[in-house]
Amino acid sequence: MPTTEKLDLVTGKGGSGKSAVAAALALDAAKDGARVLAIDMGATGGLPFHLGVQSATFEPKNVQSGLFVSVIDRASALSEYLRVQMSVPAAATVGPITRIFDALASTAPAIREIVTLGKVLWEVKRGGWDLVVADAPPTGQIPGYLRAPRTIAELVSKGRIRDQADWMDAILTDGSARTRLVVVALLEELPVSETTELTAWLDTEFPLIYRTVVANRVLPPLPVIEPSDHVPTDDAAQLHRALAAEQDEWAKFLAPDHQLPAVLGVSDAEEIVSRLLAEVTRW
């Protein structure tokens, strides 16, 4: 198999560029011959957008050789969960049972998270993909999703629901399942703080889950030149060097496993992903 992981969960503070990183990881695996599912857990459209897909749905859509794209919406995920995991007949998933379960998912702990995360983990469990890349919820929310199977297991001692919670937790934490949590952060105070809090939480709650921290939009160094009244770009260059120096300090604190360069002067999402692709290939 061209990849070493079965599942990449890509998280990061909002605005960190996690969707672009997830897209680059999916494209990288697909170009090496893997059969890849890129799945957006938040139905925000960020991941499909960065892959140049205008109309992604719950059903995986083949967008290029080896690459499929899907977006999770809660109604479809809930319907599939009831049908596949709870053996509720398809006709019944649009009736009162769904409405009752939907109300439960809005109030009971971990139900909403288990339905969404469960879709991703089910795609890993049932096979058919060399790699599943999920554009996951942001760093502030991801602990609730990771802990959802254990929360359910604490509430339900036996039966089908407990069995489901156990295999979901195993995919997340069993080294043989090859799950990787990719945490994307900008080299700024708040993103670095959230990321270090998340990694500390993982060390305590999920010490076995493999994770990699990625610093995104890292500014390239500029050569030092003598200031001149006749060079109009002096101010911009000085600002660039000041920001780069600040990033260097936050990088020392974060100690990222990988750094991705800032893609300057480019606003097209697909072009940004194309630039990142050359970088993630080296991981």
Establish if 235 belongs to a structural domain.
no
Establish if 249 belongs to a structural domain.
no
**Span 140-184, pLDDT tens digits:** 999 999 999 999 999 888 988 899 999 999 999 887 668 999 999
Strand partners of residue 213: 183
CATH code, domain with 111: 3.40.50.300
Total domain count, the chain: 1
Separation between Cα atoms, residue 144 and residue 148, nearest integer Å: 6
Separation between Cα atoms, residue 88 and residue 171, nearest integer Å: 24
Spell out a b/e string for 170-200, using b for 16 or more CB atoms within 10 Å of the CB, else e: ebbbeeebbbbbbbbbbbbeebbbbbbebbe
Q: What is the pLDDT of residue 211?
A: 92
Establish if 232 belongs to a structural domain.
no
Lowest-confidence region among 30-39, 133-142, 159-168: 159-168
Establish if 145 belongs to a structural domain.
yes
**Span 178-230, pLDDT tens digits:** 899 999 999 999 999 999 999 999 999 999 899 999 999 999 877 655 555 55
Establish if 266 belongs to a structural domain.
yes
Q: Which domain holds residue 26?
A: 7-219+256-280
Establish if 236 belongs to a structural domain.
no
Cα dist from 280 to 11, 69, 95, 150, whole Å: 16, 19, 45, 32
Q: Is the pLDDT of residue 256 over 50?
A: yes
User: Mean pLDDT in the chain?
Assistant: 88
Establish if 247 belongs to a structural domain.
no
For a pLDDT cut of 90, what percent of the chain falls above it? 63
Establish if 233 belongs to a structural domain.
no
pTM for the whole thing? 0.90
Q: What is the pLDDT of residue 111?
A: 86
